[in-house]
């Protein structure tokens, strides 16, 4: 009889628990329905299909810099400069880069230009004498680029420019293998700006001497 009584009591408790859970579920559903109806009727209600955080998806570094520039009324280049300085690097602008290219120390490898694009882009055109260093295949270029970078006084790293961050990646990799950041500058305008300014472009391999004449 004791076992029977215990079983009956357990079933009774189970029915009570189920009843409480069912009532709780009904309360939650009713509250949710009320909230949805109130949101639809309210002039300040949320649009459930709207993305209220569009910057969270697909945001690149250029968008972030432009947004920051809008808030602080500073040009994107100044934010890039601050970002590089925080990493122990420098920002190089076009007139500075052109002056370094004309400096005789470039011919003795004391001023080094490093192209952080892929091989196909490099061969289509690069700053004359620039060293190729694809940051996505660093082990391929470390044996040649690192000794040259160690001996150089000034290192200018560039990629396409604009929203291209490969130059920053390459500069960071050089830092990680012991190249002092104080002598590494990232050319923010990149190869795109270099071409726009009508500066000389070398095609093919490094020091190929293949420099097409500019159109008159």
Per-residue pLDDT tens for 2-56? 555 555 665 666 566 566 666 666 665 655 655 555 555 544 444 544 443 333 3
pLDDT for the residue numbered 162: 84
Alpha carbon distance 111, 103 (integer Å): 8
How do strand 184-187 and strand 131-132 relate by DSSP bridges?
unpaired
Provide the CA 113 distance to its chain's centre, in angstroms. Answer: 22
Does the pLDDT at position 158 exceed 70?
yes
Beta strands in the chain (DSSP E): 90-92, 111-115, 131-132, 154-158, 184-187
% of the chain exceeding 90 in pLDDT: 55
User: Residue 58: its pLDDT value, please?
Assistant: 38
What does the pLDDT read at residue 22? 62
Q: What are residue 92's DSSP bridge partners?
A: 187
Q: With 50 as the cut, is the pLDDT of residue 132 above it?
A: yes
Measured CA to CA, the distance from residue 186 to residue 150 in angstroms comes to 17
In the prediction, which pLDDT does 7 show? 54
pLDDT at 142 over 90: yes
Per-residue pLDDT at 212? 85
* Cβ count near 4 (within 10 Å): 8
Model pTM score? 0.65
Strand partners, 202: 126
Cβ atoms within 10 Å of 41's Cβ, excluding its own: 8
Instruction: Using pLDDT thresholds of 50, 70 and 90, give the confidence band for residue 78.
Output: confident
DSSP3 helix / strand / coil % (the chain, rounded to 5): 55, 10, 35
Helix (H, G, I), strand (E, B), or coil: what is residue 215? coil
| pLDDT at res. 2 | 53
Q: Categorize the per-residue pLDDT at 79 as very low, low, confident or very high, splitting at 50, 70 and 90.
A: confident
Q: What average pLDDT does the structure give for the chain? A: 79
pLDDT at residue 105 greater than cutoff 80:
yes
- Compute how many other C-beta atoms are within 10 angstroms of the C-beta atom of residue 205: 13
In this prediction, residue 67 carries a pLDDT of 46
């Amino acid at each position: 009889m004791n076992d029977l009584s215990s079983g009956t009591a357990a079933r009774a408790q189970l029915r009570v628990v189920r009843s409480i859970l069912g009532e709780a579920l009904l309360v939650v559903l009713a509250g949710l329905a009320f909230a949805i109806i109130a949101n639809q009727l309210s002039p300040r209600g949320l649009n459930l299909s709207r993305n209220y955080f569009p910057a969270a998806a697909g945001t690149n570094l250029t968008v972030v810099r432009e947004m920051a520039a809008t808030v602080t009324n500073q040009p994107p280049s100044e934010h890039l400069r601050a970002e590089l300085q925080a990493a122990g690097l420098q920002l190089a602008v076009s007139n500075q880069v052109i002056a370094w290219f004309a400096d005789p120390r470039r011919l003795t490898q004391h001023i080094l230009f490093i192209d952080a694009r892929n091989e196909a882009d490099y061969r289509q055109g690069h700053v004359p004498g620039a060293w190729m260093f694809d940051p996505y295949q660093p082990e391929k270029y470390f044996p040649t680029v690192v000794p040259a970078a160690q001996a150089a006084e000034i290192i200018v790293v560039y990629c396409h420019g604009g929203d291209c961050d490969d130059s920053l990646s390459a500069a960071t990799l050089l830092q990680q293998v012991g190249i002092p950041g104080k002598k590494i500058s990232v050319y923010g305008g990149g190869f795109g700006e270099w071409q726009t300014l009508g500066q000389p472009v070398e095609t093919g391999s490094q020091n190929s001497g293949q420099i097409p004449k500019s159109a008159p």
